[in-house]
Chains A and B, each alone.
Chain A
């Protein structure tokens, strides 16, 4: 069983829609990361969270430490947001990665 679960696995949206991707984890963590993987395979770090909420442009990430849950929101989605979004958690000396959510935004 993966220690990091993401939902949904796949998500298709129309341009302009509000997107939510969820991440749940099963162990105590020191930090949670949201990563974006482009179709070519390259990965970019979007956020690192240990509590509360962070915002960058149209992206918002929240974390609830007590519930072991994080969400990534995209407002006013655009086709260029199409990518795989990966949740990763750090605990002790290890990083654990979710399987990713494939987002497709149609024009």
Chain B
């Protein structure tokens, strides 16, 4: 079955710790995206990648980093510089940038 997977479903971070959220797709999509969702707010774009080895900052990139070494994988690292990381993180992909996006199941990040 084709789709997008995110892991883990829940992730706990200690103060000062970097954590990495996984996003994998087997849809052969070129573009991939990371969003953050907070209660009462719309999804906000953190980073996106239109093609392998290329990525662009979104609206709220500070405190986050990404890599796109393989077409199917777009991991997001939440660094210790992100002071308010508690949120629901959604990964998405599309055939090409600006096409319909398909979303993963999300990862909920909590700070201990």
Interface of A is mostly: strand
Q: How far is the CB of B22 from chain A (nearest CB, A)?
A: 16
A40 and B105: CB pair below 8 A?
yes
A45 and B42: CB pair below 8 A?
no
Task: Identify which of residues 16-48 in chain B touch chain A, using a CB-to-CB cut-off of 8 Å.
Answer: 40-45
A98 and B103: CB pair below 8 A?
no
With A96-B42, A97-B42, A99-B40 given, is the CB distance from A45 to B105 under 8 Å? no
Residues of B within 8 A of A2 (CB): 41-42
Judged by a CB distance under 8 angstroms, whether A27 is at the interface is: no
Judged by a CB distance under 8 angstroms, whether B14 is at the interface is: no
Interface 1/0 per residue, B55-89 and A, CB below 8 Å = 00000000000000000000000000000000010
**Interface-centre pick from A95, A96, A98 (highest chain B CB count, 10 A):** A95
With A86-B43, A99-B41 given, is the CB distance from A93 to B98 under 8 Å? yes
A2-B42, A86-B42 known, 17 other contacts, Cβ within 8 Å:
A2-B41, A41-B106, A42-B106, A43-B90, A43-B92, A43-B106, A45-B100, A45-B102, A45-B103, A95-B101, A97-B42, A97-B43, A97-B44, A98-B42, A99-B41, A99-B42, A100-B42
Interface residues, chain A, with chain B CB atoms under 8 Å away: 2, 4, 30, 33, 35, 40-45, 48, 86, 88, 90, 93-100
